[in-house]
């Protein structure tokens, strides 16, 4: 199908933290490359993004920091917008979901579905905090986990045992807002009946078998499991107000409102264009969302597949008149030095920090992240690889080719493009080869194969290097001017074509190269010729496109990560964590007799192994001084069995035995838990306590 225009979106980043390399590699960089390529071809394209600013985690962060949700999102909206712009992510608009246009758009969208009676209304009982006068999101309720007895389980999940919970399952629930016991109160919510819509969604997915296997496969997986109706409203005061009667104190579910953010941002963009350009007066946003000749493409990370491939299309179908996503090229995840990127563990390369350490090297990161992008499977980013790709590819191949061409031209012809003499068969063959690259790169980009496209770009620079090496103009400088002029002319034409082809991937470098060549405003279609630089054209002064990165700079980055790791191991309490802990109320008083019923002893771990087919359990053999006994403990997420042999622990020895996974556990190891649910052994600080020593 031939489309007249493209609406390209990049996932709205959630405004509760800064951006890291995973964001860029997974979503924003491929999207930007694709859009720049389309623009160079002269296609009508809009590139949409913005901050996702609603939802419970932002309200929690605000509470922890003692500021308003609006202050949280203002801070990160600014930071993320600046970061994108620094890295040359060329959004036509970077909007935000707390904006007025978005609230109206999302609200209208909901009203339309409501009027069409799409929603299923359900009254359920939810916890309500009478003191704070509001319904409590699952995350705002803590209580005792019915499964493991953890007294600080959240309403949606017990972080200790990992069980998914609903708030009503908690024993002794408490509100984290006031510490009060919440009461159950009836509340009405509106559900999108995905179960009923499943056949339509299936038909839609079936017409897109061309999607990437990871995307299509994930969709099939969801469909096979059967879709469930999802509540599209929440009892919360931060978000888009639900615009129907009887919905006071409710907002739209963040995943309902976020994708609508693409539409609101489009409206804003079109409005801007109309104001600034008289020719755009009649431009209408619906062109980009409701015209069958518009191609809608969503760039996202794999965590968003279900929302963009199933829920959002379902919303659009239910609304009617909208076009549906034609492709959703989701990437997998990027790891960092072999470990998962983690914000809470500070295991990340933060983009705003990168630009401080590697000033003006945004293209280097773009290059490395694209050439190693997680297109088909999770990939690993390492600093050594980053250095190697910079030094051996950008510097040695691309930068070097451009530099030697310019330096030679400067030396022989004072920086003026020489006229080619008779072309040899080899020259013609090379020119033919050069003209193949734009086609190869196009077809790779059309298929969202960005790594392949970038590799071809580098191959073109290689071909240039080889051409120079084969023809050795420096050997004939004084003997065969006609030949030297020809070789230099051809080399310069290659550089000129590179300027265009590299622009989507390396926009900053492309701009610099344009200046060096004194050649501007080229289009993709200009790459079908090899006479872009006319004889007599004056070039700019030769300058290096890229600098080598020394070992010491890389070691500094690696050290930074090692420090993060140390920090995590020592489990420094975070201020925010303390604030959270302070909210937990003390338990009711007990007597000394109650306490003395517990027999807590010092013990030593003498054997440890993982319990098969579980994520969290270790089977431990403990020397208690009295005996040796087996204890099953849920600490595998925090300790490796081989590292804890000989560890002194505190053990509740007279806890009634319990069989877990077929193993009889005799006792319970006491652990200190921080607010992130991370566990640490509690043991005597002096070595003078033998096994069996009583803890009292």
Partner RNA sequence: GGCGAGGUAGCUCAGAUGGUUAGAGCGCAGGAUUCAUAACCCUGAGGUGGAGAGUUCGACCCUCUCCCUCGCUACCA
Task: Kindly identify the residues of this chain, within the stretch 251-310, that bind RNA according to CB under 7 A.
Answer: 302-303
Instruction: Give the span between the Cα atoms of 559 and 552, in whole angstroms.
Output: 10
CB of 515 to RNA, least distance (A): 15
Binding RNA (rule: CB under 7 A), the pick from 23, 39, 449, 629 is 449
Select the residue interacting with RNA from 221, 277, 426, 640 (CB under 7 A). Answer: 221
Minimum distance, C-beta of residue 404 to RNA, in the bound complex (Å): 3
Of 400, 471, 509, 675, the one binding RNA (CB under 7 A) is 400
Separation CA 530–CA 118 (nearest Å): 58
**Nearer to RNA by C-beta: 266 or 390?**
390
- Distance (Å, rounded) from C-alpha 539 to C-alpha 518? 5
650 binds RNA (CB under 7 A): no
Pick from 24, 395, 492, 522: which binds RNA (CB under 7 A)?
Answer: 395
Pick between residue 188 and residue 220 the one whose CB is nearest to RNA.
Answer: 220
Residue nearer to RNA on the CB measure, 270 or 454:
454
User: Could you tell me which residues are beta bridge partners of residue 44?
Assistant: 5
Residue with tokens 């290096």: 544
Nearest distance, CB of residue 219 and RNA, angstroms: 8
What are the residues facing 421 on neighbouring strands? Answer: none
The answer to whether 328 and 30 are in contact (CB under 8 A) is no
40 versus 137: smaller Cβ distance to RNA: 137
Q: Is 547 in the site for RNA (CB under 7 A)?
A: yes
3-state secondary structure 368-385: HHHHCCCCCCCEEECHHH
Tell me: does residue 166 bind RNA (CB under 7 A).
Answer: no
* Pairwise CA distance, residues 145 & 384, whole Å: 45
| Sequence-distant (≥ 6) Cβ neighbours of residue 511 within 8 angstroms | none
Stretch that binds RNA, among 282-290, 321-329, 425-433, 626-634 (CB under 7 A): 626-634
Kindly state the smallest distance separating residue 545's Cβ from RNA, in Å. Answer: 5
Please state the closest distance from residue 649 (CB atom) to RNA, in A.
14
Q: Report in angstroms how near the CB of residue 311 gets to RNA at its nearest.
A: 13
Q: Is 566 in the site for RNA (CB under 7 A)?
A: no
Closest C-alpha among 368, 363, 395 to residue 25? 368
HSE, side-chain direction, 13 A CA sphere, residue 588: 2
Residues 456-475 that bind RNA (CB under 7 A): 462, 465-466, 468-470, 472, 474-475
Residues 6+ apart with CB under 8 A from 521: none
- Report in angstroms how near the CB of residue 618 gets to RNA at its nearest: 9
Report in angstroms how near the CB of residue 407 gets to RNA at its nearest. 4
Establish if 515 lies at the interface with RNA (CB under 7 A).
no
Q: Crossing angle for the helix pair 194-206 and 312-319, nearest 10 degrees?
A: 100
Q: Scanning residues 100 to 159, which ones bind RNA (CB under 7 A)?
A: 147-149
Window of 251-259, 482-490, 495-503, 657-665 that interacts with RNA by CB under 7 A: 657-665
Cβ proximity to RNA: between 47 and 256 the closer is 256
Least separation in angstroms between residue 658's CB and RNA is: 6
Least distance CB 313 / RNA (angstroms): 18
Give whole-number Cα distances, 351 to 72, 334, 634, in Å: 19, 14, 36
CB 32 within 8 A of CB 40: no
What are the DSSP calls for 352-420, one per residue?
HHHHHHTTT-HHHHHHHHHHT--SSS-EEE-HHHHHHHIIIIIIIIIIHHHHHHHHHHHHHHTTBPPPP
Query: Which residue in the block uniquely carries the two structure tokens 């009478």?
Result: 130
Q: Please, what is the minimum distance in Å from the beta carbon of residue 53 to RNA? A: 22
Query: Binding of RNA at residue 624 (CB under 7 A)?
Result: no
DSSP 310: I
The three-state secondary structure class of 596 is helix
Cβ nearer to RNA, comparing 149 with 573? 149
CA distances from 357 to 44, 549, 552, 570 (A): 37, 11, 12, 26
Nearer to RNA, 10 or 227 (CB): 227
Minimum Å gap between C-beta 212 and RNA is 8
By CB under 7 A, how many residues form the interface with RNA? 74
Question: Which span sits near RNA by CB under 7 A: 118-126, 166-174, 232-240, 395-403?
Answer: 395-403
- 331-360: contacts with RNA (CB under 7 A): 332-333, 340
Given the complex with RNA, which of 267 and 449 has the nearer CB atom?
A: 449
Contact between 451 and RNA per CB under 7 A: yes
40 vs 394, which CB is nearer to RNA? Answer: 394
Closest alpha carbon to 400 in 466, 450, 453: 466
Q: Report the residue number, 90 or 342, with the smaller CB distance to RNA.
A: 342
User: Cα–Cα distance between 511 and 617 in angstroms, integer?
Assistant: 56
The least distance separating RNA from the CB of residue 261, rounded to whole angstroms, comes to 22
> What are the counts of helices (DSSP H) followed by strands (DSSP E) for the chain?
22, 26
209 near RNA, judged by CB under 7 A: no
Binds RNA (CB under 7 A): choice among 661, 672, 690, 694 = 661
Strands (E), 88-210: 93-96, 120-129, 134-135, 141-144, 153-154, 171-175, 183-192
Report CA dihedral (147, 151, 155, 159) to the nearest 10 degrees.
-70
CB of 659 to RNA, least distance (A): 8
Beta bridge partners, 120, equal 191
Q: Does 163 bind RNA (CB under 7 A)?
A: yes
Which listed residue (100, 359, 613, 686) binds RNA by CB under 7 A? Answer: 613
Q: Which is nearer to RNA, 268 or 332 (CB)?
A: 332
| In the complex, minimum distance from the CB of residue 684 to RNA, in angstroms, rounded to a whole number | 23
Q: Contact between 411 and RNA (CB under 7 A)? A: yes
The smaller minimum CB distance to RNA, of residues 91 and 467, is found at: 467
**Hey, which residues between 663 and 682 contact RNA (CB under 7 A)?**
668
Residue 338, judged by CB atoms within 10 A of its CB (0-12, 13-18, 19+), counts as exposed
Between 168 and 689, whose beta carbon lies closer to RNA?
168
Q: How far is CA 307 from CA 234, 256, 565, in A?
A: 17, 9, 33
Helices 56-65 & 575-582 angle (0-180, nearest 10): 90
């Amino acid at each position: 199908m031939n489309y007249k225009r493209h609406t390209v979106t990049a996932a709205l980043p959630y405004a509760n933290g800064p951006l890291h390399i995973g964001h860029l590699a997974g979503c924003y960089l491929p999207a930007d490359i694709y859009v720049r390529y389309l623009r160079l071809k002269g296609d009508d394209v809009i590139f949409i993004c913005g901050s996702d600013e609603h939802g419970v985690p932002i309200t929690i962060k605000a509470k922890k920091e003692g500021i308003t949700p609006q202050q949280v999102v203002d801070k990160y909206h600014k930071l993320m917008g600046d970061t994108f712009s620094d890295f040359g992510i060329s959004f036509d608009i970077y909007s935000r979901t707390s904006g007025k246009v978005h609230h109206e758009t999302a609200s209208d969208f909901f009203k339309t579905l409501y009027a069409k009676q799409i929603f299923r209304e359900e009254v359920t009982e939810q916890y309500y905090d009478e003191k704070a006068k509001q319904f409590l999101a699952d995350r705002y309720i803590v209580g005792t986990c019915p499964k493991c007895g953890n007294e600080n389980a959240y309403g949606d999940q017990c972080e200790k045992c990992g069980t998914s919970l609903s708030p009503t399952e908690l024993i002794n629930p408490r509100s984290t807002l006031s510490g009060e016991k919440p009461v159950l109160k009836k509340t009405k919510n509106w559900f999108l009946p995905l179960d009923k819509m499943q056949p339509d969604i299936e038909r839609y997915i079936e017409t897109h078998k061309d999607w990437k296997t990871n995307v299509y496969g994930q969709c099939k997986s969801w469909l096979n499991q059967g879709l469930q109706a999802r509540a599209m409203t929440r009892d919360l005061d931060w978000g888009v107000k639900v615009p129907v009667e009887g919905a006071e104190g409710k907002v739209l579910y963040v995943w309902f409102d976020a994708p609508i953010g693409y539409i609101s941002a489009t409206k804003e963009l079109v409005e801007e264009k109309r104001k600034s350009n008289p020719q755009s007066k009649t431009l209408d946003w619906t062109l980009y969302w409701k015209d069958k000749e518009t191609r809608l493409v969503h760039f996202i990370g794999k965590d968003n597949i279900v929302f963009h491939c199933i829920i959002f299309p379902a919303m659009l179908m239910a609304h009617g008149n909208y076009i549906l996503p034609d492709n959703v090229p989701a990437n997998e995840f990027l790891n960092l030095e072999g470990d998962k990127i983690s914000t809470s563990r500070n295991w990340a390369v933060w983009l705003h920090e990168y630009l401080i350490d590697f000033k003006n090297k945004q293209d280097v990161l773009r290059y490395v992240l694209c050439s190693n992008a997680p297109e088909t499977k999770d990939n690993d980013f390492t600093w050594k690889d980053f250095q190697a790709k910079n030094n051996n590819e950008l510097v040695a191949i691309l930068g070097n080719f451009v530099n030697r061409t310019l330096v030679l031209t400067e030396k022989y012809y004072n920086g003026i493009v020489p006229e080619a003499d008779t072309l040899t068969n080899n020259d013609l063959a090379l020119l033919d080869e050069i003209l193949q690259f734009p086609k190869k790169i196009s077809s790779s980009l059309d298929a969202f194969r960005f790594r392949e496209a970038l590799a071809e770009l580098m191959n073109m620079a290689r071909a240039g290097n080889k051409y120079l090496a084969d023809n050795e103009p420096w050997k004939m400088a004084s003997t065969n001017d006609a030949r030297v002029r020809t070789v230099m002319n051809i080399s310069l034409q290659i550089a000129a074509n590179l300027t265009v082809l590299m622009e989507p991937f390396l926009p900053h470098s492309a701009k610099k190269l344009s200046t060096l060549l004194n050649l501007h405003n080229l289009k993709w279609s200009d790459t079908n010729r090899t006479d872009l630089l006319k004889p007599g054209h004056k070039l700019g002064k030769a300058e290096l496109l890229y600098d080598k990165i020394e070992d010491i700079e890389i070691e500094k980055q690696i050290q930074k990560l090692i420090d993060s790791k140390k920090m995590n191991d020592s489990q420094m309490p975070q201020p925010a964590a303390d604030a959270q802990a302070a909210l937990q109320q003390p338990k009711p008083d007990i007597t000394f007799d109650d306490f003395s019923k517990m027999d807590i002893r010092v013990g030593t771990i003498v054997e440890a192994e993982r319990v098969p087919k579980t994520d969290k359990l270790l089977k431990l053999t403990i020397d208690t001084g009295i005996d040796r006994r087996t204890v099953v403990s849920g600490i595998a997420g925090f300790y490796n069995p081989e590292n804890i042999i000989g560890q002194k622990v505190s053990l509740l020895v007279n806890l009634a035995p319990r069989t877990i996974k077929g193993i009889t556990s005799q006792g319970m190891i006491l652990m200190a838990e921080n607010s992130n649910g991370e566990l640490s052994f509690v043991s005597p600080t002096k070595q003078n306590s033998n096994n069996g020593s009583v803890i009292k």
